[in-house]
Chain A
Amino acid sequence: MKTKMIIMGAVALVLGLAFFWGADRYRAHQAEQMSFLAQENALVFVPEYAPVMGSENAAIYMVEFLDPECEACRAFYPYVKKILKDYEKDLKLVVRYAPFHKNSIHAVQVLEAARKQDKYWEALEIMFATQPQWADHHNPQPERLWDILPKVGVDIERIKTDMKNPEILARIQQDIRDGEDLGVRRTPSFFVNGTPLQTFGYEELVTLVESEIDKAKKEVQ
């Protein structure tokens, strides 16, 4: 029986190790491909139309694929702002959309229309803050946005016209396509200078940002 136990243990160990080794190899390979993509085709990550927050001189792009209806994006937004503030000299935020929920596209259209009034970040912030009121998944009431957005000085009548602009829909569709190419299956998903955030979390994102800043500084030297 003892020999059998050893054989069993060995089989379990080999299969288990193969799994974790394979997972590691796969992730490393994916990250490599992404960084290749980042060098060859930066537009996949940062198209010209995407909203950017942060200093113009900042060299590091933190791309966030988000959805105004996504609860995790809402909960994580304060951390994103904190990271932007902590690394404001080096880092800027680029917003891309991954509209995975029912009324997401509508919400993004409203948001992009607010951008025409220079109220993009104000609108995004209040939409996150009031998300449970207008984006409840069992009873979504996107029309409530018309009462919410004027609080940050958005002109609703202009929004209603501007949001129908086909340009906005085309951008959303481009974001969806790029998201598919980059393997974005959850929101929020982050890429810092093309390197994907493998494990979601504040500490992990900070570590990734710092390592990309270090990398960029070394390249300059």
Chain B
Amino acid sequence: MTQKNTSHAWYFTLFAWSVAVVATLGSLFFSEVMDYPPCILCWYQRIAMYPLVVILLVGLLSPDGSTVKYAAPLAVIGGGIATFHNLLYYELIPESTVPCAQGISCTTAHIEWLGFVTIPLLSLIAFLLVLGLLYFMRIFADEN
């Protein structure tokens, strides 16, 4: 049973890692391939997302049940910034409160798939997914 649960936790880690990799490559695609300059809030979210790729990878290679402990703070911080960015973007809070009025605006719509899917929304979804998966990793690790 223990073996099986460890295995479950591992697959959740794999899923979370895949999400982090997709988010990382996706953001690099927007900036390096499509040449969209990242705004300051995007950079803060990148700072939280990119290390998750490494931390979760280490968790995959040597699963010792402590991956969640190291990954969760980053996911929480990133999710927090992403939430703020989305509130700003969808005009639930006014832009005057933003620290990035100069330079590249954080509310510029580079993409708008289906009329509402934007880069900040994709980021928020990625962080929430990672957080959700970390939660399951913890549950299965606890049962050991």
Chain A residues near B (Cβ < 8 Å):
4, 7-8, 11-12, 15-16, 18-19, 22-23, 26-27, 183, 185
Contacts and interface: CB of A to CB of B under 8 A. Distances in A.
B37 A23 contact: no
Given A8-B60, A11-B17, A183-B35, 6 more contacts: A4-B60, A12-B21, A15-B22, A19-B25, A22-B29, A23-B29
B33 interface: yes
A4 B60 CA distance: 9
A26 B35 contact: no
Given A19-B25, A22-B29, A23-B29, A11 B37 contact: no
Interface string B28-72: 110011110100000000000000000000001000000000000
Given A19-B29, A22-B29, A23-B29, A11 B14 contact: yes
Interface of B: 10, 14, 17-18, 21-22, 25, 28-29, 32-35, 37, 60
Contact of A15 (B10, B25, B33, B35): B25
Contacts of B18: 11, 15
A10 to B, nearest CB: 11
A15 B32 CA distance: 16
Interface of A is mostly: helix
A27 B33 CA distance: 8
Contacts of B10: 4
A23 B33 contact: yes
Contacts of A19: 25, 28-29
Contacts of B32: 23
20 contacts: A7-B14, A11-B14, A11-B17, A11-B21, A12-B21, A15-B18, A15-B22, A15-B25, A16-B25, A19-B29, A22-B29, A22-B33, A23-B32, A23-B33, A26-B29, A26-B33, A26-B34, A183-B35, A185-B35, A185-B37
